[in-house]
Amino acid sequence: MPTSTLAGISAVDFFAAKLTHQTDPADLAAERAAGAAPLVLDVRSASGWAQGRLPGAVHLPLDRLREDVGAVAPDLDAPVVVYCWGPGCNGSTRAALVLATMGYTRVRELIGGFEYWVREGLSVVTDAGRTRRAPDPLAAPVGP
């Protein structure tokens, strides 16, 4: 069966790599519930962090990532997930690239970022405490 190529990469290789280097909110939540939690880095600004974040996330703004990541992630082979605001923000893509160029081998980007996490009705933490919004029926996974 022929596969298409773009810039010398087959569709099979592209999508396999994409799945290796991304995760979605439901899968990340399931990993965390199963005790296989990666280090989760929020690379947004201080104002974004203050508005809400994933429980257990570490705040490491993109402009400080290269200088400060070693203090929170000394193991280059540890699993790391990065996120920013949402699908219209490429901060997590930039952060994942920075980490990969630094030698981190198990970096993934959270698809949809904080926005999709919230829209799926998953818990968030604010300075006032932990909260959860009702899932958005257009974004949240539908059960059987």
* 11 domain residue, yes or no: no
Mean pLDDT of all residues in the chain?
91
pLDDT confidence bin for 127, thresholds 50/70/90:
confident
- Torsion region of 30: left, alpha or beta (phi above 0 gives left; psi -120 to 50 gives alpha): alpha
Q: Does residue 68 lie in a domain region?
A: yes
Asked whether residue 144 is assigned to any structural domain, the reply reads: no
pTM over 0.85: yes
Q: What is the pLDDT of residues 93-109, one digit of tens each?
A: 999 999 999 999 999 99
pLDDT of residue 133: 82
List the domain range (segments joined by +) for residue 100: 20-126
> Is 138 within a domain?
no
Q: Does position 5 have pLDDT exceeding 60, yes or no? A: no
In a domain, 110, yes or no: yes
Q: How confident is the model at residue 1 (pLDDT cuts 50, 70, 90)?
A: very low
> Considering the domain boundaries, does residue 29 fall inside one?
yes
Q: Give the per-residue pLDDT at 143.
A: 59
For the residues 10-31, what does the mean pLDDT come to?
93
Does residue 140 register a pLDDT over 70? no
Does any domain span residue 132?
no
Q: Are 35 and 42 in contact (CB under 8 A)?
A: no
* Residue 112 CB partners (closer than 8 Å, separation 6+): 24, 25, 86, 87, 119, 139
Q: Which two tokens stand for residue 19?
A: 């799945």
Q: Tell how strand 107-110 and strand 80-83 pair up.
A: parallel
Cα–Cα distances in angstroms (integers) from residue 99 to residues 13, 46, 72, 129, in the given order: 22, 20, 13, 30
Is residue 137 one of the residues assigned to a domain? no
Task: Report how many domains make up the chain.
Answer: 1
The CATH number of the domain where 53 resides is what? Answer: 3.40.250.10
User: 142 versus 53: which is more confidently predicted?
Assistant: 53
Which tens digits make up the pLDDT trace of 63-94?
999 999 999 999 999 999 999 999 888 999 99
